[in-house]
Amino acid sequence: MSEISTVTDTDTPKVVFDRLDPENLVVRLSGAWSIEHGLPRTPELHQEMVSRGGILRVSFDTNELSSWDSSILTFLAAVVDISSKKRIEINKEGLPEGVVKLLALASAVPEKKDARAPVAHVPFFSRVGESALGHLRDMTEMVDFLGETFLAFLKLGCGKARFRRIDLMLFIQDCGARALPIVSLISVLVGLILAFVGAVQLKLFGAQIYVADLVAIGMTREMGAMMSAIIMAGRTGASYAAQIGTMQVNEEVDALQTLGLSPIEFLVLPRALALVLMMPLLCLYADFMGILGGGLIGVGMLGLSPVEYFNETKHAISLIGCLTGLIKSVVFGFIVALSGCMRGMQCGRSSAAVGVATTSAVVTAIVFIIVFDGLFAVIFDILGI
Amino acid sequence: MAQEAHIEVRDLTMAYGNFVIQQDLNFTVNRGDVFIIMGGSGCGKSTLLRHMVGLKEPEKGLVLYDGVSFWDADPGERKHLMRRFGILYQSGALWSSMTLAENIGLPLSQYTDLSLREIAGLASLKLALVGLSGFEEFYPSEISGGMRKRAGLARAMALDPDILFFDEPSAGLDPISARRLDDLILELRDSLGATVVVVTHELASIFAIGNNSVFLDADTRTMIANGDPHRLLSECENPIVREFLTRGESATGARRSS
């Protein structure tokens, strides 16, 4: 007789394998079997039933069993599995009636062998190829989406686009006025950081006044547009992806399509239009707040007077510089809106897919913002502006 | 009198990539039918519906409306066909940013030249028909699941369609609400003269309203029965169909004890 104990308590779940004779094995189950005590380790199960050999019949004794739950079913399922493989006869009379019924239920429907496709090891180069093809498909879908959006804007230009004006107003409010607090905070901080980093070096040359130039040019040409775009990518682009993705999950986009309404015109157009209209304004606002943030350092840390800082800023800012920032902001607005809407339209039919779409929207937007910023730098350099 | 074919599905094969969901589907929906698409869970019933209403193009085969192939038609013709559809999706698919009245009003504003006041009046009428009078200014999130279904039905009826599609209309409804919806479907069929296609596996609804059907099988991935559900129950010898229509009683041979 071999005995296995899992916990040393009076109500400890126990399994005792009692070999009455070479062909008959009695499995004695006692104690309180509960999953809260963990599943019993039964390494001797295989040894008793298989390794030692000769067993033809297995029966059970549960007279000392005080309570049970799924933990006993797990153990008994293993016993039944070994018995069926080794053609050992099982006598379930000694088991509680509920246990017998549950075991029968668990084995009522045979395991579906081909339920899941076999996981085959895919060679490295195959994976690289499939990934490349996946990116190619993504690019193709992106071009399709851009094309459809372009056509929708053409229809807008002809006054034939179908969307709700109230939706456009709501999106303008959301990505305009409601974005001001976060844009203010980030822009002030960016201006502050620019001024601080510049001040450290400029002080060495006694040229701290040029902090004003650094902040003014940096904000108007680059940081105002880029930072406001990145903020809107995380705030509004993600929101667009989540909204449209959830509509996909709820079949609302299908309902639009079967009504003959273009989801691009109805959903994407007002969102893109709102962002494109608001981004230049947000950019100008971000420029202003950034210069203000820089002024805090200039006045507070470098001892410049507000008038000095203001005059130097006015001297440094150029119309061309501001325009370059504004042009970028319009393009970035398109990028953020289209990234969010495209990922939303590509969203799968589950809540997990909405999360993927949202993340993807932000990443796609930020990547393209940086890429286009680089392109603009090259173009403006070539143009000499 | 010979029945007039309203919708015909010929040699239809549906697939997602390389995975074939159903193949070689051939059936006819006659004008005025309440046609049931039935089968076990995961056999492709809702997918078939999506192929029929223009949401997914089939791998192979045709979907014909009054002899016109939907998927071979040009966009204008397709839009004209879709204007005749009224679709109730499984969860209602109401546009969450719009009130119930606005949900019903959108199809009217798209396809008619009615004034806003006229559209609002029609929307109220449609809501009243489904027992939601007074809920015009409610948003979908403010009403129960059963009410959303009924509002979805009101929207499906907005343009007085001659073909109504229902995807699991009884799902999530209590038995009394499900029965009321069945009665409403029959009343709509009679009053609008519509052809109705219903995706369902609710036996009570199948036998209460269906007069024609197709049975899709998940294992063989094709249709294994076609015809009046009552006739299939009494005459069909396919064990899978019999087990489905008798709720498993033909397989076990006994009622489950209560």
Q: Is the CB of A257 inside 8 Å of chain B's CB atoms?
A: yes
Whether A221 and A305 map to the same domain: the answer is yes
Whether A346 and A207 map to the same domain: the answer is yes
This prediction's pTM: 0.80
Decide if B37 is inside a domain.
Answer: yes
Whether B72 and B197 map to the same domain: the answer is yes
pLDDT tens-digit readout, A288-326? 999 999 999 999 988 899 999 999 999 999 999 999 999
Decide if B258 is inside a domain.
Answer: no
Whether B166 and B79 map to the same domain: the answer is yes
Q: Is the CB of A254 inside 8 Å of chain B's CB atoms?
A: yes
B chain contacts of residue A254, beta-carbon cutoff 8 Å: 50, 55, 89, 93
CB atoms within 10 A of CB A214: 20
Residue in A with minimal Cα distance to B88 = A255
pLDDT interval class at B258 (50, 70, 90)? very low
Res A80: pLDDT: 86
pLDDT tens-digit readout, A127-156? 999 999 999 998 999 999 999 999 999 999
Q: Is the CB of A148 inside 8 Å of chain B's CB atoms?
A: no
- Whether the CB-CB separation of A229 and A286 falls below 8 Å is answered with no
Decide if B119 is inside a domain.
Answer: yes
Whether B104 and B134 map to the same domain: the answer is yes
Res A67: pLDDT: 86
Whether B12 and B78 map to the same domain: the answer is yes
- Whether the CB-CB separation of B38 and B45 falls below 8 Å is answered with yes
For residues A241 and A356, what is the distance between their CA atoms, to the nearest angstrom?
Answer: 9
Res B256: pLDDT: 46
For residues B144 and B252, what is the distance between their CA atoms, to the nearest angstrom?
Answer: 38
In chain A, the number of structural domains is: 2
Whether B107 and B2 map to the same domain: the answer is no
Contact (CB<8Å) B89/A254: yes
- Calculate what percentage of chain A has a pLDDT beyond 70: 92
Which of A166, A253, A254, A266 would you mutate first to test chain B, the one with the most B CBs within 10 A? A254
For chain B, which residues lie within 8 Å of any Cβ of chain A, measuring from their own Cβ?
50, 53-55, 79, 82-83, 85, 87, 89-91, 93-97, 106-107, 110-111, 155
Interior angle at CA A52, CA A51 and CA A55, nearest 5: 105
Whether B149 and B167 map to the same domain: the answer is no
User: HEC profile for A198-238?
Assistant: HHHHHHHHCCHHHHHHHHHHHHHHHHHHHHHHHHHHHHHHH
Which of B52, B80, B87 would you mutate first to test chain A, the one with the most A CBs within 10 A? B87
Decide if A38 is inside a domain.
Answer: yes
- Calculate what percentage of chain A has a pLDDT beyond 90: 63
Residues for chain B: how many in total?
258
B chain contacts of residue A259, beta-carbon cutoff 8 Å: 82, 106-107, 110
Whether A157 and A104 map to the same domain: the answer is no
pLDDT tens-digit readout, A93-106? 989 888 888 888 77
Contact (CB<8Å) B95/A260: no
Q: Does residue A159 have a pLDDT over 50?
A: yes
What are the strands, taking DSSP E only, across chain B? 5-16, 19-30, 34-39, 60-65, 68-69, 85-88, 163-167, 195-199, 212-217, 222-226
Residue in B with minimal Cα distance to A170 = B97
Indicate the average pLDDT of chain A: 89
User: What separation, in Å, do the N-terminal and C-terminal C-alpha atoms of chain A show?
Assistant: 92
Q: Domain of B168?
A: 1-84+162-172+180-248
Whether A51 and A199 map to the same domain: the answer is no
Q: Domain of A283?
A: 147-383
Whether B26 and B77 map to the same domain: the answer is yes
- Give B222's strand partners: B217
Looking at residue A29, the DSSP 8-state letter turns out to be E
Compare CB distances from A254 to B55, B107, B111 and report the shortest one's residue. Answer: B55
Compare CB distances from B83 to A251, A255, A260 and report the shortest one's residue. Answer: A260
Whether B184 and B72 map to the same domain: the answer is yes
Contact (CB<8Å) A255/B50: no
Whether B98 and B217 map to the same domain: the answer is no
